[in-house]
């Protein structure tokens, strides 16, 4: 083949690859320090001035806000466990005694088995379908929860395998022009972020556990922070978070169960 033809083919390939990268990164990030509300215990009218809103993937986004679609991507929701057992039992993690491995912190939530490429591909097929639903509904980003399930799995799961699944989800989300958040998992590095393709972070209790720098060092102001009222000295923790980052970051204080406004136990404060 003539050299000029080879050059033309190479240029065409490079152009396609460049376009693919641009399309993959055609995402919008949350506004820095935008007023934030976290609604996973039931949807309600956001507080006045809210700019950023997280809701479950089964809820509707709110027009005019930056809507983040919550997905439990690394373990089951309690009310979905029967569906998983019936349809995808082999994708659920089991202990050596063959019992399902439930999250010790959240009973009823079974870990998804990310240990093989085959299982990760099967899981991504399911979760990517949910991501498609988020895009169709009008969300701007996804928040795949429980990335850190490997830290509670008695070493059955690994960081590398969970990150490999996260990358499959991130790649798909980007093709839908959705940003993707790193959820918690303070031990991840800047290299891990780049490998997966995370765009921003959603972090619970980083002030309470002295982990906030792990995220701000990587994401700068691209971190949404939730502290909770049931922690010891919750108001002092929240005040310290506001003093440290409230002028530059979205920081809120919420009740642990994230109940809807108007229900018993509801609590919401922002810096």
| 177-210 pLDDT tens trace | 999 999 999 999 999 999 999 999 999 999 999 9
The reply to whether the predicted model has a pTM over 0.75 is: yes
- List Cβ neighbours of 268 (8 Å cut-off, separation of 6 or more): 37, 47, 252, 253, 254, 261
Task: Look at residue 230 in the predicted model and tell me its pLDDT.
Answer: 96
- Strand (E) positions, 111-249? 141-145, 179-183, 200-204, 223-228
CA distances to 108, 182, 234 from 167, rounded to whole Å, are 26, 11, 35
* Residue 247, token pair as written in the block: 């002028």
Q: Looking at domain 29-270, which of 1.10.150.120, 3.20.20.140, 3.20.20.70, 1.20.140.150 is its CATH number?
A: 3.20.20.70
Cα dihedral sign, 142-238-210-243: positive
| CA atoms of 238 and 12, how far apart (whole Å) | 54
pLDDT, residue 18, reads: 36
pLDDT bracket for residue 26 (50, 70, 90) = confident
Q: Would strands 141-145 and 200-204 be described as parallel, antiparallel, or unpaired?
A: unpaired
Average pLDDT, stretch 145-160?
A: 98
The ranges assigned to domains in the chain are 29-270
Q: How confident is residue 6, by pLDDT bands cut at 50, 70 and 90?
A: very low
Q: Where are the beta strands (DSSP E) in the chain?
A: 36-39, 52-56, 66-72, 141-145, 179-183, 200-204, 223-228, 250-254, 268-270
Model confidence at 25, pLDDT cuts 50, 70, 90, reads low
């Amino acid at each position: 083949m003539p050299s000029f033809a080879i050059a033309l083919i190479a240029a065409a390939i490079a152009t396609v690859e460049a376009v693919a990268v641009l399309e993959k990164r055609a995402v919008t990030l949350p506004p820095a320090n935008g007023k934030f509300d976290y609604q996973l215990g039931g949807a309600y009218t956001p507080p006045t001035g809210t700019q950023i809103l997280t809701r479950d993937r089964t809820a509707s986004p709110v027009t005019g806000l930056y809507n983040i679609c919550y997905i439990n991507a690394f373990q089951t929701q309690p009310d979905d466990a029967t569906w998983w057992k019936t349809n995808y039992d082999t994708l659920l993690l089991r202990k050596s005694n063959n019992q399902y491995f439930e999250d010790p912190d959240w009973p009823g939530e079974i870990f998804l088995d990310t240990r093989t490429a085959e299982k990760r591909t099967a899981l991504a097929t399911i979760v990517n379908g949910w991501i498609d639903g988020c895009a169709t509904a009008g969300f701007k980003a996804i928040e795949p929860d429980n990335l850190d399930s490997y830290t509670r799995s008695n070493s059955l799961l690994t960081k590398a395998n969970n990150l490999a699944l996260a990358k499959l989800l991130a790649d798909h989300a980007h093709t839908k022009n959705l940003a993707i958040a790193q959820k918690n998992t303070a031990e991840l590095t800047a290299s891990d972020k780049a490998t997966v393709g995370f765009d921003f972070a959603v972090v619970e209790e980083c002030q309470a556990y002295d982990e906030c720098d792990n995220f701000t060092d990587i994401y700068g102001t691209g971190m949404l922070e939730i502290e909770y009222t049931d922690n010891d000295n919750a108001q002092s923790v929240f005040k310290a978070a506001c003093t440290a980052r409230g002028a530059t970051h979205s920081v809120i204080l919420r009740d642990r169960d994230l109940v809807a406004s108007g229900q018993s136990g509801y609590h919401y404060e922002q810096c």
